[in-house]
Structure 1
């Protein structure tokens, strides 16, 4: 099947934000009396709060009580304290412009909430390039469950074999694969090649992929994704 669209993760893929998310979680948990180390939560970044909170503090839920307060505090910390210092991944905007030039439809699939996504898209300098987004609000469960990827497919009206996803975490790969979608992974999110092994290709940054575009799975000259 010829490639027709690309599903985009944002955090760690197009914005260098994974460390900031982890630090915000550490501070939010501490505010409510839970001593969580950066090294505990950093490997979980890429999952949504509905997955992270009960893994770190069993019995808590992001939907109610103290867990919900922790999730809310984490969002406030991220937006108010950390977002202003974030930078786009190298080549993020140029890669998206190239994909659009090639006629590919672009749709976001992120565990972020809509308020955070708006900020992240501006940081990545791509807020004017994207119309279709699927966030945690569109799904019952966040990554690594496939709900958000399925929501992105529904919004783009494309089939799994007509798209590829750009991501940076093993949770992107797990969620996309569960929805029948292949993933091109980036190392700039801080995960190593062994953790990204189920991706169909791995690049350092969006700029690295752009430099090798014609020989990559994104090339529309390819008759299929493999």
Structure 2
């Protein structure tokens, strides 16, 4: 088997415990939509450009979408970001991946303006200078765009690259790009079919890293 020489790292749920639907619920309520936590939570991991139309019919190019997106950002930064913590072993895992000489890049559906703050919360901002966010693509996860842009930035072929994520949308996005996924349960989503390996959290993956063909 060809060894993996680079890893695309998801952020929300994978490196930080930020998979919470409350900010979206508040944003929808403020714009007059009756959308429950239970409706939003299974879609966390998608970008807003995918999540909002599915729940409300509001399209990403509209002014209404921009208001919803800004409301989400405001609620998230004020209400949720202060409580976000790194997933267990996040920095240790990234340090070890770097020590082994792997190329690393963040590949997230998150908003570019929030990503840096989350990387600081994960305590890995200094370890992963390359980023691909929803701001870099037309369609976020589960579309393949983020993974394809990350591949281009890495200068790698799909078979050389591994995705590390925590939702079915990471797995789908990577799979549509020809990239394998290792999934983590710490994001709270058990729908991880299609991942080549599943671990509990970054620390668990670190303990079993030799199970993967890393070049």
Q: What is the TM-score normalised by the length of structure 1?
A: 0.92
C-alpha distance in 2 between matches for 1:219 and 1:112:
27
Query: Is the 2:182–2:195 Cα contact (8 Å) retained in structure 1?
Result: yes
C-alpha distance in 1 between matches for 2:152 and 2:210:
28
1:125 equivalent to 2:123? Answer: yes
Unmatched runs of 5 consecutive residues or more in structure 2: none
1:25 equivalent to 2:21? Answer: no
What CA RMSD, in Å, does the superposition of the two structures yield over aligned residues?
A: 0.9
Query: Is the 1:62–1:70 Cα contact (8 Å) retained in structure 2?
Result: no
1:2 match: secondary structure = coil
Offset at 1:62? 2.8
Offset at 1:30? 0.3
1:80 equivalent to 2:78? Answer: yes
Match in the other structure for 2:204: 208
C-alpha distance in 1 between matches for 2:213 and 2:45:
23
C-alpha distance in 1 between matches for 2:201 and 2:213:
14
1:18 match: secondary structure = coil
After superposition, the C-alpha distances for 1:117-157 in whole angstroms (9 at most, x for unaligned) are 00000000000001111111111100000000001001111
Consecutive aligned runs of 4 or more in structure 1 exceeding 3 Å deviation: none
Offset at 1:35? 1.2
C-alpha distance in 1 between matches for 2:78 and 2:131:
23
Offset at 1:191? 1.0
Match in the other structure for 1:34: 33
Unmatched runs of 5 consecutive residues or more in structure 1: 221-226
Counterparts in 2 of 1:27 and 1:14: CA distance versus 1, 3 Å: same
C-alpha distance in 2 between matches for 1:85 and 1:43:
21
Q: What is the TM-score normalised by the length of structure 2?
A: 0.97
